[in-house]
Amino acid sequence: MTPLEIAAVAISFAGIWLTAARRMLCWPVNLLACGLYFKLFLDVRLYADMVLQAVFGVAILYGWVAWARGQDDRGTVIVEPLSARAALAGLAAGAAGALLIGWFTSHYTDAALPWIDAGLSSFSLVAQVWTARRHRESWLLWIVVDVLYVGMFVFKGLLPTAGLYAAMVVLAAVGYRRWRMAREPVLGLTQKELCG
């Protein structure tokens, strides 16, 4: 356990909590967490996760803009439905990315766990894009990915990070519940406006 890992855990926890609460502050906080984890993953040779943090940085900037545009008149971030077609496309992209990244890191790097690292990194990116697009289903994918990350980080001896990811499973469940109860737009109107 290093001071870098402790800081990354604390800031990541705050960022995920803010995301679950649909607060715009989540984006700069998550961006800082990405920078800290980029350095940590470089230090422990989890290269796919290191690169993922850089890609997350780009996805965070995208999400920041998407959320700013996806607010109602009161400034509340609107949850958007995820179509079955978009879900299948995202999962297929995650699988293809896992195979490509896993093959590359297993052949051209000294990555500690190339295949599991690649798979988790690829599907994390899918979950991040779904989060940026305000799909509540992103939380379900985060739950699966984070459970698997806990095992990987325990194996690598990153116990505070494993603890963070265990807490993130709980936060993802809270996020899903909160986002499931959130208003979704229906033909330009919210469900509340239609019913009330």
| Predicted confidence (pLDDT) per residue in 132-178, tens digit | 999 999 999 999 999 999 999 999 898 988 998 999 999 999 999 99
**Letter string b/e over residues 3-20, b meaning 16 or more CB atoms within 10 A of that residue's CB:** eebeebbebbbbbbbbbb
C-alpha–C-alpha distance, residues 108 and 129, integer Å: 27
Q: Alpha carbon 52 to chain centroid distance?
A: 10
Rounded-to-integer distance, Cα 117 and Cα 50, Å: 10
In the chain, beta strands by DSSP E: 185-186, 189-190
- Report CA dihedral (36, 141, 171, 19) to the nearest 10 degrees: 60
**Model confidence over 113-122: pLDDT tens digits?**
999 999 998 9
| 49-83: pLDDT as tens digits | 788 899 989 999 999 999 999 888 888 889 999 99
Two tokens, residue 138: 């992103």
Q: Could you tell me the residue ranges of all domains in the chain?
A: 3-195
Q: How many whole angstroms separate alpha carbon 129 and alpha carbon 114? A: 22
